[in-house]
Amino acid sequence: MTRFSLAAQTWQFGQTRRLPFDAPAVDDRAAVARWLPATVPGNVRLDLHANGILPDPPHIGSEWVDAADWWYRVTFPVDVEPGQRVFIRFSGLDYRAAIFVGDDECARHEGMFSWVTVDATDHIRAGMCRLAVRLWGSGALPRRNLSRRQKLWQAIAQRLQNSWTGVYPDRSATLKMQMSFGWDFAPRVLTTGIWDDVTCIITGDTFIESAGIAVTPDGRGTIRMRLNTHSPTDVPLALTVTGDDAPHTFRFTIPPAPPETTRTFRLPAPKLWQPWDAGTPHLYTARLEIPGSDALSVRFGVRSVALENRQFRINHAPTFARGVNWVPADIFPGRITPADYRDLLTRAKACGANFIRVWGGGLREKAAFYDLCDELGLPVWQEFPLACLFLGGAPQSADFLALLRQEIGAIVRQLDAHPSVVVWCGGNEFSPRRNRAVIRTMARAIAENALSSRPFLPASPAPGDAHNWLVWHGKAPLNTFKRERAHFLSEFGLQALPHADTLAAALENPRTGWETIHGDTDKLRHYLRGFLPDEHARPPALGALIEASQQAQAAGLQLAIEHMRRRKPRTGGVWVWQFNEPLPAISWAVLDYFRRPKLAYEGLRNWFNPVLVSVDFPVGKLWRAGEVFSGAVWVVNDTAQAVGGACRVRLDGRDIFTETVTAPAHSSVRVGTFAHRLAHPPVEMTATFGADNAIHSENRYPLHWRDTPPAPWQLIIRRWLADRILR
Ligand code: BMA
């Protein structure tokens, strides 16, 4: 019995002509003129590039790829003895596929996120498995016919807020990564390929198709296990749980039918999985073994999660979310590796983030992502793959709802055992009220497939959870963030130019073109103006533009984060839009594609510190000598221990406030106020909290910038309408 990845095998791919997806016979391998080397997991365009057929970057001018269909094939040895069985599992196919073993079609599949497992036992010839996958190019993706009412919405939406609020007949008909249809930080690249792992599983006569583990949060360590097995007879199962000083072993007998069985067992005094800022993210491994037949390991953690009084409670402790929005790390998800995930997630933790929102326009990421979040103690808000439906809606047809149930059910099963996944969310920016059938189907898919219980948020935003785009899209001044009253602020941000080396690398390739990396120049100009050192130096040097745009982004993020944190416990969390980006661009990301940090990333280390010293004062004003500079000083404590020390505020190096304070566990304390007559225009304010030899928190406020004037009323009305549309 063994399980091994097929990534290391010698794969080939080839082009063929379009066939209808519902054609009964689709084996046209003989028509492929040329078979070329391929990489799996990967993507058709990346393979075309690797073979010199598409230039770099392979997404430019490559629409013809979508008009063709594609074959992938591999032949590999399988060492099977009589009575043994062979299965092939695909962890992610993008998007319509037919799977062949030998000459036989074993499965026809639609959907990017569900696993597909085929039984190859009867198709092994002379110890060899001949596997092939036919993939329909993206020109064959389903497309909706819009009703008259939807066409009307479309027309209204175009006027209301360019194309963003429209109805998308292609994108909304699929549960494919929505970003691939084109987004405001990513080009339209309709990926096709085998984007996630392919595994060969050799078993005896019993195959453990899947295993789920859930810990009932009853404090007694009761663990429920669900197994899907294919077995002709009663079989003995040995379960060994490691993670404590000594392993725990349990033995069960699994009946042949039904294929799904549930068992409970008890782990005495289990150690808890904690978010990194609350303790150790302790993990257990359950190894299931049916002697002589199959074995499987599932990692799990013991923790409870609830959403109460506007706060996440993990293991009953309030967990204020200092979060970031995660988008796909590449426009070709096929090439994202575990090392990429490790680097990015380690950097998320390093800047103080304790919550990752996996945005609904992106992916159910690969398994390594969730394994790492488990290990790093990073809670995850996982959205389902729906995004930005605005005035439109998801299809309500029985076929679409069946696809939704299949894909959401699969995502729930795949991620259920991960302690890091603490909340499900239906997706990004659509109205649950106008998509009731979708929400019902999601809730049902969760109930049918989850062993663990977690909160389910139908969509984000929702009442009490805001995406504040008054700033940026609505061109409102940065200090508008201080009027935010929601308890969750799950999106807000500003674009900033990346490091000059990133711009140069993106431009070096003449085919990249500005069209994929341009950002929104109108709004960039609007916000960076108040940060440029000299209004009259025109045109400003590139370095000054980069710096000013990054300062504007940093100032906005700092304002919003500190405002939300000070308002705790009326607030429960704040998620910066956006952490990463899928290609070099001028975007909202705080880490660019090459992972070069923008100024805001460095700032997050202070603003996301579990203990924060914060000053609330009138921002974005150029101060003059003789004016009174006043503000209030706060200490926010997200930890479970009281912290004490001196709070000190300085203006250009001179003390203007000192007070000793103790901030209780999980608190936000207004320490005091100051009013200081200025002798000269100040440049920078700094704040510290702690003792001289142990500073808990430090903070900086540049004072040389001017906020923008009030937003034009047309934009205010547009934003107001857009928010109403999402209800
Ligand atoms: C939010 C996101 C994305 C978008 C971002 C910036 O609404 O959900 O859809 O990329 O705004 O415009």
pLDDT in tens, 57-110: 888 889 999 999 999 999 999 999 999 999 999 999 999 999 999 999 999 999
Q: Please name the residues in contact with 316: beta carbons below 8 A apart, sequence gap of 6 or more.
A: 304, 306
Query: Is pLDDT at 514 greater than 90 in this prediction?
Result: no
Alpha helices, H only, 6-63? 44-50
pLDDT tens sequence across 460-501: 999 999 999 999 999 999 999 999 999 999 999 999 999 999
268 has a pLDDT exceeding 90: no
Residue 712: DSSP 8-state: P
Q: How confident is the model at residue 638 (pLDDT cuts 50, 70, 90)?
A: very high
Within 10 angstroms of residue 459's Cβ, the number of other Cβ atoms is 27
Note the Cα 327 to chain centre separation in Å. Answer: 5
Q: Cα(469) to centroid of ligand 1, in Å?
A: 9
Asked whether the predicted pLDDT for residue 42 surpasses 50, the reply is yes
Distance from Cα 515 to the centre of ligand 1, integer Å? 18
- What confidence category does residue 146 fall into, taking pLDDT thresholds of 50, 70 and 90? confident
318 shares its domain with 454: yes
**378: helix, strand or coil:** coil
3-state secondary structure of 457: strand
Q: How confident is the model at residue 510 (pLDDT cuts 50, 70, 90)?
A: low
Q: Is the pLDDT of residue 163 over 70?
A: no
Pick the most confident of 403-407, 521-525, 691-695. Answer: 403-407
SS3 content of the chain, % helix, strand, coil (to 5): 25, 35, 45
Ligand 1 centroid vs 272 CA: distance in angstroms?
A: 35
CB of 361 closer than 6 A to ligand 1?
yes
Measured from the CB, is residue 467 less than 6 Å from ligand 1?
yes
Query: 303, 335, 365: which is the final residue of a domain?
Result: 303
To 10 degrees, the CA torsion angle through 284, 323, 94, 202? -10
- The answer to whether the CB of 429 is under 6 A from ligand 1 is yes
Report the C-alpha gap between 654 and 643 in whole angstroms. 25
Is residue 119 located within the same domain as residue 40? Answer: yes
Shared-domain flag, residues 242 and 323:
no
> Residue 445 above 80 pLDDT?
yes
Phi-psi region of 674 (alpha: psi -120 to 50; beta: other; left: phi over 0): beta
Q: Is the CB of 273 under 6 A from ligand 1?
A: no
Q: Is omega for the bond preceding 57 within 30 degrees of 0, making it cis?
A: yes
Whether the ω angle into residue 217 lies within 30 degrees of 0, i.e. cis, is: no
Pair (37, 155) in one structural domain: no
pLDDT tens digit string along 420-436? 999 999 999 999 999 99
Tokens 């203990």, located at residue: 611
CA of 91 to the centre of ligand 1 (A): 28
339 and 450 in a single domain? The answer is yes
Contacts of 101 (CB under 8 A, 6+ apart): 88, 118, 120, 123, 129, 130, 131, 132
pLDDT-based confidence at residue 723 (cuts at 50, 70, 90): confident
241 within 8 A of 270, measured Cβ to Cβ: no
Q: Would you place residue 693 in the very low, low, confident or very high pLDDT band (cuts 50, 70, 90)?
A: confident
Q: Is residue 217 part of a domain?
A: yes
What integer pLDDT is reported at residue 376 of this predicted model? 98
- Which residue minimizes the CA distance to atom 8 of ligand 1? 428
- Domain of 690, CATH number, reads 2.60.40.10
- Inter-axis angle of helices 148-160 and 713-725, nearest 10: 150
Separation of CA 164 and ligand 1 centre (Å): 10
Distance (Å, whole) CA 508 – CA 505: 5
pLDDT number for residue 513: 46
What is the percentage of the chain residues whose pLDDT exceeds 90?
83
pLDDT score recorded for residue 237: 94
Q: Which atom of ligand 1 is nearest to the CA of 428?
A: 8
* Residue 73 sits in the same domain as residue 121: yes
> Does any domain span residue 521?
no
d(C-alpha 659, C-alpha 649), whole Å: 9
Is 371 within a domain? Answer: yes
**Number of structural domains found in the chain:** 4
Residue type, 448: E
- Ligand 1 centre to CA of 467 (Å) is 9
Ligand 1 nearest atom to the CA of residue 493, by list position: 6
- Does 161 or 682 have the greater pLDDT score? 682
Atom of ligand 1 nearest to the CA of 588: 6
The CB of 428 under 6 Å from ligand 1? The reply is: yes
Q: What is the mean pLDDT of residues 11-34?
A: 98
- Tell me the residue range of the domain where 654 lies: 611-702
Averaged pLDDT, 264-290: 95
Token pair of 243, please? 């993670």
pLDDT tens digits along 575-627: 999 999 999 999 999 999 999 999 999 999 999 999 999 999 999 999 999 99
For 230, other C-beta atoms within 10 Å of its C-beta total 17
Element (H, E) at 446: helix 436-449
Distance separating alpha carbons of residues 353 and 320, to the nearest angstrom: 10
CA distances to 445, 452, 503, 595 from 413, in Å: 10, 10, 41, 32
Indicate the helix (H) or strand (E) that contains 414: helix 398-415
User: How far apart are the C-alpha atoms of 200 and 129, rounded to whole Å?
Assistant: 10
Q: Where are the beta strands (DSSP E) in 399-464?
A: 421-425, 456-457
Cα–Cα dist 310/320, whole Å: 9
At residue 233, the pLDDT reads: 87
Bridge partners for 630 per DSSP? 675
Mark whether 210 and 168 lie in a shared domain. Answer: no
Atom of ligand 1 nearest to the CA of 473: 12
Judge if the beta carbon of residue 185 lies within 6 A of ligand 1: yes
> Where do we find the tokens 């103006």?
529
Q: Is residue 569 part of a domain?
A: no
Alpha carbon nearest to ligand 1 atom 12, residue: 184
Cβ-count burial 591-624 (b if 16+ within 10 Å, e if not): bbbebebbbbbebbebbbbbbbbbbbbebbeebe
First to last CA, the chain: 52
Instruction: Say yes or no: 132 and 88 in one domain.
Output: yes
Residue finishing a domain among 262, 280, 303: 303
CA distances from 56 to 508, 640, 652 (A): 11, 51, 50
Considering the domain architecture, whether residues 451 and 321 belong to the same structural domain is answered as: yes
Q: Indicate if the pLDDT at residue 443 is higher than 50.
A: yes
| Whether residues 135 and 230 fall in one domain | no
Compute, in angstroms, the gap from residue 527 CA to the centroid of ligand 1.
18
Asked if the model's pLDDT at residue 114 lies above 90, the reply is yes
Residue 345 Cα to ligand 1 midpoint, Å, equals 21
Say if residue 459 is in the same domain as residue 320.
yes
Say if residue 330's pLDDT is above 60: yes
Long-range contacts of 150-158 (CB under 8 A, 24+ apart): 150/392, 153/391, 153/392, 154/391, 154/392, 156/391, 157/390, 157/391, 157/392
Report pLDDT for 161. 57
- Is residue 219's pLDDT more than 90? no
Cβ neighbour number for residue 51 with a 10 Å cutoff: 13
294 lines ligand 1 (CB under 6 A): no
Q: Are 566 and 615 in contact (CB under 8 A)?
A: no
Q: Is the CB of 142 under 6 A from ligand 1?
A: no
What are the residues whose beta carbons fall under 8 Å from the beta carbon of 436, sequence distance 6 or more?
Answer: none
Q: How far apart are CA 355 and CA 335, in angstroms?
A: 25
Tell me the CATH number at 378: 3.20.20.80
Is the pLDDT score of 338 beyond 60?
yes
Residue nearest atom 10 of ligand 1, based on CA coordinates: 184
Closest atom of ligand 1 relative to the 361 alpha carbon: 9
Based on the fold, state whether residues 628 and 662 are members of the same structural domain: yes
| Residue 562 in domain | no
Domain boundary (418, 448, 463) is at 463
Note whether residue 168 is domain-resident.
yes
Answer whether 388 contacts ligand 1 (Cβ < 6 A).
Answer: yes
Ligand 1 mean position, distance from CA 461 (Å): 11
The average confidence (pLDDT) of the chain is: 93
Residue 288 lies in a domain: yes
pLDDT band (50, 70, 90) for residue 674: very high
User: String of b and e for 333-357 (b: at least 16 CB within 10 Å)?
Assistant: bbbbeeebbbebbebbbebbbbbbb
Residue with the two structure tokens 């569900």: 114
Q: Mean pLDDT over residues 662-680, rounded?
A: 97
Cα 496 to ligand 1 centroid, rounded to whole Å? 15
Ligand 1, atom 9, lies closest to the CA of 388
Whether the per-residue pLDDT at 401 is higher than 70: the answer is yes
Q: Is 537 a member of any domain?
A: no
- If you take atom 1 of ligand 1, which residue's CA is the nearest one? 491
Contacting residues for 480 by C-beta, under 8 A, at least 6 apart: 468, 470, 471, 711
